[in-house]
């Protein structure tokens, strides 16, 4: 093992769903910097001008199996190979129904499908190409709320909320990762999840009360920023983690450790 190159992604093909989003964009940049060829599957393409030359953008809605199938086929290219799959995209659907009492069946199902459903569908359709890699790495995205409940006091007197279908879908995503780790080991594919803590978008950060409450919940005394995730993404994607599978890594400033 050459330790100087153990994090290298040279020659690797990576697919990132939701790669145009707040966290996805920075992860894509990290993959490119480490040498991967990256294909982004997102329903709303926003081109990252600084990195566009190294990224293949595929407009695709993960609601449609046919669209996911086609995106994976395109990303795999002539080599018919995908080495790294990062399933970032999530969508709870329009509107916010945050309470257990008022959440209807449609919204409940949308939240589950927009989290673990997207993840499952993407893995299933990428699999024929990942098997050809023989050393594939899948990274799914969980959440702080996959392993613990949101504290309702954090949200009091703010316009924000966290919904029961989101946490349930993310907990299922973490479990799906472990299932797939066991099931796909036979193909040399490793599967791990990364669970971000509080990474509020810039517009949410403008609410000082909310931001301060989130900060106070962490050991490190601050919210997360997209670049806080990139080191772990490269670790899981590369041979540096070749004996790591079935792990859910919390990146939450210590929030779940106390």
Ligand X SMILES: NC(=O)c1ccc[n+]([C@@H]2O[C@H](COP(=O)([O-])OP(=O)(O)OC[C@H]3O[C@@H](n4cnc5c(N)ncnc54)[C@H](O)[C@@H]3O)[C@@H](O)[C@H]2O)c1
Q: Report the interface residues with ligand X, using CB under 6 A.
A: 17-18, 20-24, 42-44, 60-63, 88-91, 141, 143, 196, 198-200
CB of 9 to ligand X, least distance (A): 20
∠ CA 242-9-1, rounded to 5°: 50
Cβ pair 89, 141 in contact under 8 A: no
CA torsion angle 110 158 27 64 (round to 10): 10
Smaller CB distance to ligand X: residue 11 or 202?
202
Smaller CB distance to ligand X: residue 79 or 206?
206
Smaller CB distance to ligand X: residue 45 or 182?
45
**Nearest of 106, 121, 2 to residue 65 by alpha carbon:** 121
User: Rounded distance, CA 41 to CA 85, Å?
Assistant: 11
Smaller CB distance to ligand X: residue 30 or 196?
196
User: Rounded distance, CA 124 to CA 117, Å?
Assistant: 11
User: Rounded distance, CA 171 to CA 79, Å?
Assistant: 34
CB of 141 to ligand X, least distance (A): 4
Residue of this chain nearest to ligand X (CB atom): 21
Smaller CB distance to ligand X: residue 48 or 131?
48
Cβ pair 140, 193 in contact under 8 A: yes
Smaller CB distance to ligand X: residue 131 or 211?
211
CB of 200 to ligand X, least distance (A): 6
- What's the maximum distance between 2 C-alpha atoms anywhere in the chain? 56
CB of 197 to ligand X, least distance (A): 7
State whether residue 239 is helix, strand or coil.
helix
CB of 54 to ligand X, least distance (A): 18
Instruction: List the beta bridge partners of residue 86.
Output: 16, 139
CB of 183 to ligand X, least distance (A): 22
């Amino acid at each position: 093992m050459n330790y100087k190159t153990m994090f290298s992604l040279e020659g690797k093909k990576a697919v990132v769903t939701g790669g145009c989003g707040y966290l996805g964009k920075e992860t894509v940049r990290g993959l490119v910097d480490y040498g991967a060829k990256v294909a982004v599957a997102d329903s709303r393409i926003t081109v990252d001008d600084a990195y566009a030359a190294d990224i293949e953008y595929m407009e695709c809605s993960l609601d449609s199996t046919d669209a996911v199938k086609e995106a994976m086929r395109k990303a795999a290219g002539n080599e018919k190979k995908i080495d790294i799959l990062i399933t970032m995209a999530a969508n709870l659907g329009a509107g916010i129904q945050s309470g257990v009492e008022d959440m209807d069946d449609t919204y409940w199902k949308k939240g589950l499908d927009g989290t673990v459903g997207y993840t499952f569908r993407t893995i299933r359709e990428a699999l024929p190409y990942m098997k050809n890699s023989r050393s594939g790495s899948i990274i799914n995205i969980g959440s702080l709320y996959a392993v613990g409940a949101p504290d309702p006091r954090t949200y009091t007197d703010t316009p924000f909320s966290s919904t029961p279908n989101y946490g349930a879908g993310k907990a299922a995503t973490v479990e799906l990762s472990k299932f797939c780790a066991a099931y796909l080991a036979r193909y040399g594919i490793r599967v791990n999840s990364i669970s971000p803590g509080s990474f509020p978008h810039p517009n949410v950060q403008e609410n000082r009360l909310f931001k301060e409450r989130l900060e106070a919940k962490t050991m490190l005394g601050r919210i997360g920023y997209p670049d806080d995730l990139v080191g772990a993404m490269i670790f899981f994607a590369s041979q540096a983690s070749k004996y790591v599978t079935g792990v859910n890594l919390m990146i939450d400033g210590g929030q779940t450790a106390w």
